Structure 1
């Protein structure tokens, strides 16, 4: 005679809920990781593009910073809170433009820690000489 403890009746719905919850959380974690990597790549590309734009002979370094902010705003939204600072520096190869972009690191969707993601890019300064 089977005891109540050996009875499997009703275990399938519980198993479905538990496995479904686990798979849903795993899927959401992978999607969140993809969002974080996407935002990091956008911020990096914007910093590089801003550095090269600000290093042009007929542009000021500040133009590169505004270009970087514009690119981040176009890719992930203006409310994302990315700020860029451009500074002229002297490197081993000559004058350079350094653009540093600070943005929000997304933790849940695009909501995250403001200022936690910082990317710096350099570009050689061009001149008409």
Structure 2
């Protein structure tokens, strides 16, 4: 018994060295997935908004920016672009968001990524 005095503190330190970084890594992956899914949904909604008859692609970019502004910090979004492209003979609106995800929570250096949303453009034919 006397030789085991202080062993609980050492055990706690050894376990926490492994568990704390693992827990923080899981939180960071969850934050990245949340941001990516939020931006993908906003890009898709913006593309559908711009695909409606008599709307311009700039309207889709503006709508996407409005949806993202309330959820994601402005520093994380690099650009929001919308364009009309031709896909197998169909006019399609594509909204793309370029963003930056820091490696440590919401601060520090990180990775750049982009997401896109698509919708078939309504025509008056």
TM-score w.r.t. the length of structure 1 is 0.83
Q: State whether residues 39 and 68 of structure 2, in contact with CA within 8 Å, keep that contact through their aligned partners in structure 1.
A: yes
Quick one: distance in 2 between partners of 1:24 and 1:60?
49
State yes or no: 1:42 paired with 2:44.
no
Quick one: distance in 1 between partners of 2:102 and 2:64?
19
Computed over aligned residues only, the root mean square deviation of the Cα atoms, in angstroms, reads 1.8
The offset of 1:81, in angstroms, is 2.4
State yes or no: 1:14 paired with 2:10.
yes
Aligned position for 1:97: 93
Q: State whether residues 73 and 80 of structure 1, in contact with CA within 8 Å, keep that contact through their aligned partners in structure 2.
A: no
Match of 2:5, SS state, is coil
State yes or no: 1:88 paired with 2:75.
no
Aligned residue pairs total 122
Q: State whether residues 88 and 98 of structure 1, in contact with CA within 8 Å, keep that contact through their aligned partners in structure 2.
A: yes
Question: What per-residue deviation string (whole Å, max 9, x for no partner) do you get for residues 35-74 of structure 1?
Answer: 0000010111111111111111121011111211221111
Quick one: distance in 2 between partners of 1:119 and 1:79?
16
The offset of 1:93, in angstroms, is 4.7
Gap runs ≥5 in structure 2: none
Quick one: distance in 2 between partners of 1:106 and 1:73?
18
TM-score w.r.t. the length of structure 2 is 0.85
Larger Rg belongs to: 1
The offset of 1:78, in angstroms, is 3.3
